[in-house]
Chain A
Amino acid sequence: MHPRIFTLILLLLALAGVGCREGDPSPIDDTPYALQLPPGFPYPDIPEDNALTVARVALGKRLFYDPILSADSTISCASCHLPALAFADDAPISPGVGRRLGLRNAPTLANVAYLTLVNKDGGVPKLDLQALVPIEDHNEMDLSILSAALRLNAHPDYLEAFQRAYGEEASPFTITRALAAFLRILISGDSPYDRYEQGKGSLSESAKRGSALFFSERAQCSSCHSGFNFTDNGFHNNGLYDTYADPGRMRATFLPEDEGKFRVPTLRNIALTAPYMHDGSLPGLEAVIAHYNSGGSQHPNKDERIRPLGLSEMEKADLLAFLQALTDSTFIANPEFLPE
């Protein structure tokens, strides 16, 4: 290269460098994380600014199990999202900091990578922002995300882990993104029902009949609980109450026609996630089946598919057997998801 041009390039690079950047970028470990997907599961949408890497997932996992993110360092994400319960809780309402109670039942975190709107009312538009809700909520972890960042940056090993994952220190951005990276790997699709469908295992006759009923025109369960994750991701009123203490979707849209509508939850691992419904008001699956069989409330927004089903005792037992066949025991035992 012409020496004069070479000097010029150097000079320009130096100028640009002085002009816009300070500090040298620290080495990011961008080894991609290979997401294991069961047959029939599409690859989830992953935002460009939070590509899945081994370092990000590891950092997110560490944060998930660390009570450092709560005001008094007593509550971690796993206090309400227990791995053995498919990352849900067995209390109707899980206590947060100071034993304070929130509004809703803690849901499973299985397959949250596929959520289009997050939370039962869809008030959060993307998974990457969701962690702010529990961290800052007065009834959950009650800590400003800015304080959380200060705390984490005071730990040299956390600081290093954030640098490795994002090339930045802990911040509202990197904390929420690392948690989302970990949540995205919580994929569950290996239940007896899946194995049976893939021709790799067997189901009881009762569960097979229950499956037929679940997908039937008569019960119509699968019209809302549809697809590989047993949800249409839509918001419906399933006739739980005549008057709702929790307005559901209306809390986010202010529209009266959304009152009492909640996002259709996945039914994967449903036998592990009692109690049920947005407020944890139904103690077991028998009560859920009894609810649907009764046809539910008289609420004006109640979906027309919720009406008396006239199920026999055997049909109820069959439906229960089917729901129980949706438990993925490899999911809850997967060491990748459990604390080190």
Chain B
Amino acid sequence: MKRSHFFFLALLAVGSALFFTACTNDDEESPVLGMDFEYLVNGEAFDTSRVYDINGTAVKFSIANFYVGGITFESEEGAETEMTDKYLLVTPESGMQEIGTLPVGHQHMLKYFIGVGPDENGQTESDFTNRKSDDPLSVQFPAMHWNWLSGYRFIRVDGKVDTNGDGVPDESMEIHIGTNPFLTNLEFTIHKDVEAGMNPLHFEFDLAKLFEGIDLSQDHLTHTGDNMGLANKFVGNLPNAFKYMHE
């Protein structure tokens, strides 16, 4: 090859690389996947202005946000595809969120965790202040990070509970779960035929199920380390609160 031709081609290659990496340009043909979570309380619609009865205690919610990461599909043959570095901040309003693309075909299982993986949670290199503002792991309002113990709140459920039995929720409920040992893995059999276009994955998230075996009138505050008992019970209930909705 002539030197100048080679130079020309090399430039072209570098140029296209620049262009394509500069804008994340997913292959338009690839099926896109999305996840959404329908918030429920005892099977009824979630509403921050409503008072619910949970195991006999009147409860009102104000915040119910959590992180989803480690999203991995598994085919019938056991081949795994991870949506690398993808995190979702799920809130009652977040609706359908894109998680990535997959080839057309059948996916047997879906796995993900509630929380933030140890690398991202550690705050040593990347931290919640040096991420772009559209990154769900950047500083959020309401806050999903802890300062005194640098790291993320994996799940944050705030509201008010009735502690004196008059039916009026008036004491603060704060359930803030974080730290690596509380990262919770979930898995679902989805039997999903991934097709061209948008492929939504629907989940139900029933908050009442988070409080099985918990007397909210007595036990309604944990920032993890200061009330491990409640943190452990709550996290133990997480898998039962999520349900995959087959079409």
Contact = CB atoms under 8 A, between A and B. Distances in A.
Given A2-B4, A132-B129, A137-B147, A125 B123 contact: yes
A176 B147 CA distance: 12
Interface in A133-185: 133, 136-137, 144-146, 171-173, 176-177
Contacts of B18: 12, 15-16, 19
B124 A146 contact: no
A12 B129 contact: no
B150 A15 contact: no
A129 B11 contact: no
15 contacts: A5-B7, A8-B11, A12-B15, A123-B149, A124-B150, A125-B122, A125-B123, A125-B150, A129-B147, A132-B145, A144-B143, A145-B129, A171-B129, A172-B129, A254-B228
Nearest to A254: B225
Q: Is the interface of A mostly helix, strand, loop or mixed?
A: helix
Given A49-B130, A254-B225, A145 B139 contact: yes
B19 interface: yes
A16 B19 contact: yes
B22 A126 contact: no
B14 interface: yes
Contact size class for B? 20 to 34
A129 to B, nearest CB: 6
B129 A20 contact: no
B147 A124 contact: yes
B129 A176 contact: yes
A125 B124 contact: yes
Given A12-B14, A171-B129, A251-B149, 17 more contacts: A2-B4, A8-B8, A8-B11, A8-B12, A15-B19, A121-B148, A125-B123, A125-B150, A126-B123, A128-B129, A129-B123, A132-B129, A144-B141, A145-B129, A146-B141, A177-B129, A252-B225
B123 A119 contact: no
A51 interface: no
